[in-house]
Amino acid sequence: MATLTIRLPDDKHNRLKQLAEVRGISVNKLIEELSTIALAEFDTYNRFRLMSAQGNRQLGLQLLDKLDASIRFNHDEKP
């Protein structure tokens, strides 16, 4: 497992700490969860672009629907 050091403005760091506390997880776990969501969105976008380039519009639109549902679920599930 890799270690990542990032620089954030103090106010953003404090807000992330508050969010993690509300969710009952560590800031590390929060960043891991948020990065998983970002990578899933990125992977879906890339799959859509590939299908689009291959002319499979229907499958691409289905992926976008799946992404939208995932985003709504993640935003509704967490405070």
- pLDDT by position in tens, the chain (length 79): 899 999 999 999 999 999 999 999 999 999 999 999 999 999 988 887 887 788 777 877 888 888 888 877 666 555 5
Cβ partners under 8 Å of residue 45, min gap 6: 67
pLDDT value for 73: 65
**Is 5:13 a contact under the CB 8 Å cutoff?**
no
pLDDT value for 68: 85
pLDDT value for 78: 53
